[in-house]
Amino acid sequence: MDDSHTQPTHASPPAASGSTLRALENLAATLDPRDFVITLVTGEGRRACLTVTSRHTAKGEDVYAAHGWYWWSWAERIALTDDAHGAAAKIALALSGPDQMVTAALPSTSAALTADHGQTPHLGPESGGPNIARIYDYWLDGKDHFAADRDAADDVLAEFPEVTQVARANRAFVARAVRHVAAQGVTQFIDVGVGLPTSPNVHEIARHANPAACTAYVDNDPVVLAHARALLADGPGVAVVAGDLRRPAPILADATLRALIDFRRPICVLLASVLHFLDLAEASTAVAAFTAFMAPGSYLVLSCGTSTGTDPALIKRLRAAYASTAPISDPTAHQVADWFTGLDLEPPGVMAVWDWRPDEPWCWLTPPAARIIGGVARKPGSRM
């Protein structure tokens, strides 16, 4: 463990610094008074703190600020003082019931998190329509696709045949990223927007590093959920959760997820090649919710298609292929990189997925018209 992040051994919170009041006031402004009774306690002869009590459960705790961190009264770190949203999310988890634990802590995004977006249309074989997961499975040389999926996929490949290699490069990036995170000692993984099972799956890679690793797969596509429950939920340590990435709060509150994942410990959240199926605001809200909720020492693995370096004609063709299934957004590379704000990027940073720590160099005969970029980042704080 990094000595700079070692927990203090004394039984009381560390002495307050000159920035204590400012940090506590910032946290108080972040917490929602509709869900918490918030009292800033100051006075001669006692240490300043924020007393926070849930209106829903009547549970309360004192929160302190010192040396750049928010602290519980028992001298456990909550979050850095420049991450008030992250601290608020952790406090909400500790004090609130599962139905409030995210939205109560993040009033600035609660409307976006709890809005009824409806269900993303996922057309099954009976409709004759293509499906996101099955098109991707076809490009990965899988077996779970129908004629409509192959037709839509082939329409893209007719002009841009390198798309299959880009899809496979993204899948290889995920495998390398999971191996890297598992090597850091993380044993809890949440794969959101998992798609159809493709070996090696995340839980298989993680278990290779640590047989005790556990993985939760999340998707809102009935096709994916049916396959995942049949093929992935093969015993202890694996769960399949129905959830819409556009509504992170119900995912994080899901009883099946919380029975498997201990959010007090570091986790790894994977958002691989899924955010470009949301509009930019939805994608930003989703990333912010998951990263705020992660414990210090957690990791984010993220990849996304980008308009930077991608042929506009390909984006147009992809939108046509997915027209009946999902929108296609086209964030710039700068916008994708912004999703890692507040996290420590692992070298070599955000780049084309085939260039991120490749097992062997990818050789393109001609520059690909499609570009997916990604990276891996760690939330600052104690590892374990």
Residue 5 banded pLDDT, cuts 50, 70, 90? very low
24-75, pLDDT tens digit by residue?
999 999 888 878 888 888 865 667 889 888 877 777 788 988 888 888 776 6
pLDDT computed for residue 74 by the predictor? 65
Q: Which CATH architecture has domain 125-378?
A: 3-Layer(aba) Sandwich (3.40)
pLDDT computed for residue 233 by the predictor? 58
129-179, pLDDT tens digit by residue?
677 777 777 777 776 677 887 887 788 888 888 888 888 899 999 999 999
Q: Which of 179-183, 215-219, 226-230 has the lowest mean pLDDT?
A: 226-230
Q: Which of 104-113, 268-277, 293-302, 323-332 has the lowest mean pLDDT?
A: 104-113
pLDDT computed for residue 201 by the predictor? 86
Q: What is the domain partition of the chain in residue ranges?
A: 3-114, 125-378
Percent of the chain with pLDDT over 90: 36
pLDDT computed for residue 215 by the predictor? 95
The mean per-residue pLDDT over the stretch 234-262 comes to 88
Q: Please, are residues 263 and 347 in contact by the beta-carbon 8 Å criterion?
A: no
The mean per-residue pLDDT over the stretch 7-36 comes to 69
pLDDT computed for residue 332 by the predictor? 94
pLDDT computed for residue 96 by the predictor? 59
Q: Please, are residues 178 and 268 in contact by the beta-carbon 8 Å criterion?
A: yes
- Give yes or no for residue 380 having a pLDDT over 70: yes
One-letter identity of residue 383: R
| pTM of the predicted model over 0.75 | no
Which three-class secondary structure string do you get for the chain? CCHHHCCCCCCCCCCCCCCHHHHHHHHHHHCCCCCEEEEEECCCCCCCEEEEEECCCCCEEEEEEECCEEEECCCCEEEECCCHHHHHHHHHHHHCCCCCCCCCCCHHHHHHHHCCCCCCCCCCHHHCCCCHHHHHHHHCCCCCCCHHHHHHHHHHHHHCCCHHHHHHHHHHHHHHHHHHHHHCCCCEEEEECCCCCCCCCHHHHHHHHCCCCEEEEEECCHHHHHHHHHHCCCCCCEEEEECCCCCHHHHHHCHHHHHHCCCCCCCEEEEECCHHHCCHHHHHHHHHHHHHHCCCCCEEEEEEECCCCCCHHHHHHHHHHCCCCCCCCCCCHHHHHHCCCCCEECCCCCEEHHHCCCCCCCCCCCCCCCCEEEEEEECCCCCC
The mean per-residue pLDDT over the stretch 81-90 comes to 84
Give the chain's mean pLDDT. 80
